[in-house]
């Protein structure tokens, strides 16, 4: 089972809000300076989903999983990822 697009947006939005100052996430946040705020905007219905926005969010989420050395198993929250 893969993480839903909505959950990807919520998780990445939380990373951007809560972890952007965290030293462990510095490189990830700097590299994903478009994908993270875009996920926040999508999560809060500030912007509408487009194919391009979906591509950015999916790539950003895949990089987060790679950085945490995780396979996508249908995560629902940031806690699900960080507790693994």
pLDDT tens digits, residue range 4-46? 999 999 999 999 999 999 999 999 999 999 999 999 999 999 9
The answer to whether position 47 is within a domain reads: yes
Rounded Cα–Cα distance for residues 67 and 61 (Å): 10
35 within a domain of the structure (yes/no): yes
Per the domain annotation, does 65 fall within a domain? Answer: yes
CB 12 within 8 A of CB 61: yes
Does residue 83 fall inside a structural domain?
Answer: no
Terminal C-alpha separation, the chain:
16
Q: Domain total for the chain? A: 1
| In a domain? residue 30 | yes
* Structural domain of 64: 5-76
Question: Is 84 inside any structural domain?
Answer: no
Residue 81, in any domain of the structure: no
Q: Is the pLDDT of residue 84 over 80?
A: no
Does residue 56 lie in a domain region? yes
Angle value at C-alpha 7, between 21 and 19, nearest 5 degrees:
5
- What confidence score (pLDDT) does residue 1 get? 87
């Amino acid at each position: 089972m893969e993480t839903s697009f909505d959950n990807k947006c919520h998780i990445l939005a939380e990373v951007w809000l809560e972890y952007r100052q965290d030293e462990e996430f510095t490189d990830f946040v700097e590299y994903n300076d478009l994908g993270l705020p875009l996920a926040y905007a999508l999560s809060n219905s500030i912007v509408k989903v487009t194919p391009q926005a979906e591509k950015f969010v999916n790539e950003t989420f895949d990089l987060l999983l790679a950085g945490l050395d995780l396979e996508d198993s249908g995560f629902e929250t940031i806690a699900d990822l960080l507790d693994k």
